[in-house]
Each structure stands twice: as C-alpha cells, then as structure tokens.
C-alpha cells in the first residue's frame, strides 16, 4: 500500500476536523475537560464539604448493592474513602470509554459525510489510490486522534483524581491495574468500534448530521455498562476489562473486514 498517500489523506482529514470549531471544540476539548477535570474534581471534593449525613447513608446503601468482590477491594477504608474510590475508580471507568468512541465517531462521520457536504469528496475519490488505501486512510485519520485524546485524558484524569482525592485518601491511589488495562487495551478498541461503525454509516449518509445521529448508537453498549455497574450488576475488574477489550477488538475486526469488502468508490460516485 502507498503509505505516503495514506498518511497524506489522514493528515488532511485531521486538519479539516481541527479547523471545524463546531466539531473540535465540543467533542475534542469540552467533553474531555468535563469528564477528566470537572466531574472528578466535584466527586473527589464532595467528602471534604459539609454534606448532610443522609447523603453518605445513601452511599452506604448503594455500597451494599455492589458485588462482593468490589466491596472486598474497599475493606479497610473509611466510608468517605470508599465513596471516593467507588465513584472515581469504578463508576467513572465506563464513562471514560465514551471519549475515544465519541472522538472517533465524529471524525469518521466527517470523513465521508462531511466531504459530501463540502463538495470535496469527488476530487478525493479520483485520487490515484486504491479503495483499500482510501479506507485505511480515513479510518487511521479517525482512530489516531481518538486514541491520543483518550491517553492524554487518562494522564490528566490521574493527576486530577489524586489531587482531588488527597484530602480524603492521604495518598496517591490512582491508577490501579484495572484502569491501566482499560486505557491501554480497551480505549483503542473502543475508538475502533466508534470509527468502524460510523464509517459504514457515513459512507451511505447524505450529510454529517445524518451520519452522526445514526453513528452515536454505537455508544449504547457503554451506556448499558454504566447502568449495570451503577446498579451493582457488574463491576470493572481486571478480568472483565480484559474480556471487554477482547470482545471490542473482535467486533472491530469484523466491521473492518466487512467495510473493506463493501467499500467501493464507484458506488460513492454514483450516489453523488
């Protein structure tokens, strides 16, 4: 494959997305800031504020519904410390996966559907690249920024969590092994799921908004995981996170193979 052409197209897509402030600011900047800075600061500092005792009683009731293995990991901590660890380490874990999926989805939606709106897709389709090279370039241009935002966000989140939780914990307590696996193994797979599903949709969509609305359905499994953990049905252990990453990578592979077999620039030209 022509690597120079692939990276040239990927760089062009990244430049276009970054220049589109309506896309880059809310998804690449504001969303990570909320999830990685604002929310952990609020959750981490709650135990240090004058909070009614009834609130911690509700937390204790919530703690009692958690799986035994999760409760065992909190043994030896005070109720305030358990509250900090429960929310910042466990409840926030599935929320973290939303970021790489959303970033890759938005960039992938702009890759083809956005090109149609800007009337630049036809010139791209006539470039001297194969269908596979064009598809790889489009996917690479969406996957790389999503993984970069996820890993930078993880580093930022680690700093904020330890600072916010220090008054209660009195030590550095984040990240643990589960979060390392989540960031290194699962986040790239989540980004792949976002771009692969969005890529299939955006090729057939008429515009960016159509593609984005349909493609965001890919985050529904993450929403289910959030609800399942918050209600105590599951908890994010190292084993669960390893299996989750494996499942996501398998789904990514299936979608990419399907996309490679069905993507034809001649069909795109016919739809224009």
Q: pLDDT tens digits, residue range 102-126? A: 888 888 777 766 666 666 665 666 6
* Packing angle of the helix pair 3-19, 131-169 (nearest 10 deg): 50
- List, for residues 135-181, the tens digit of each pLDDT value: 788 888 889 989 999 999 999 999 999 999 998 899 999 999 999 99
| Residues 196, 147 contacting (CB under 8 angstroms) | no
Give buried/exposed letters for 115-128 (b at 16+ CB in 10 A, else e).
bbeeeebeebbeee
Report the mean per-residue pLDDT for the chain: 81
Q: What is the pTM of this model?
A: 0.85
Give percent of the chain above pLDDT 70. Answer: 76
Q: How high is the pLDDT of residue 256?
A: 84
- List, for residues 251-268, the tens digit of each pLDDT value: 999 988 887 776 665 555
């Amino acid at each position: 494959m022509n690597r120079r052409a692939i990276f040239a197209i990927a760089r062009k897509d990244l430049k276009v997305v970054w220049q589109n402030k309506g896309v880059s600011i809310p998804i690449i900047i504001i969303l990570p800031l909320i999830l990685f800075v604002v929310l952990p600061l609020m959750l981490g500092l709650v135990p240090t504020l004058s909070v009614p005792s009834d609130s911690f009683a509700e937390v204790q009731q919530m703690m009692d519904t958690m799986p035994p293995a999760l409760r065992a990991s909190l043994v030896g901590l005070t109720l305030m410390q358990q509250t900090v660890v429960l929310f910042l380490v466990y409840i926030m874990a599935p929320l973290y996966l939303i970021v790489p999926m959303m970033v890759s989805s938005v960039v992938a939606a702009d890759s083809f559907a956005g090109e149609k709106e800007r009337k630049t897709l036809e010139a791209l389709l006539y470039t001297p690249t194969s269908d596979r090279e064009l598809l790889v370039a489009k996917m690479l241009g969406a996957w790389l920024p999503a993984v970069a935002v996820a890993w930078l966000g993880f580093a930022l989140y680690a700093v904020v969590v330890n600072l916010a939780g220090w008054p209660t914990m009195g030590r550095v307590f984040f990240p643990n092994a589960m979060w390392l696996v989540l960031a290194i193994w699962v986040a790239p797979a989540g980004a792949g799921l976002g771009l692969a599903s969005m890529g299939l949709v955006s090729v057939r969509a008429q515009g960016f908004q159509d593609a984005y609305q349909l493609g965001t359905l890919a985050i529904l499994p993450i929403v289910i995981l959030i609800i399942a953990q918050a209600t105590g049905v599951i908890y994010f252990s190292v084993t669960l996170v390893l299996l989750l990453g494996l499942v996501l990578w398998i789904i990514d592979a299936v979608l990419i193979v399907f996309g490679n077999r069905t993507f034809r620039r001649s069909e795109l030209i016919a739809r224009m």
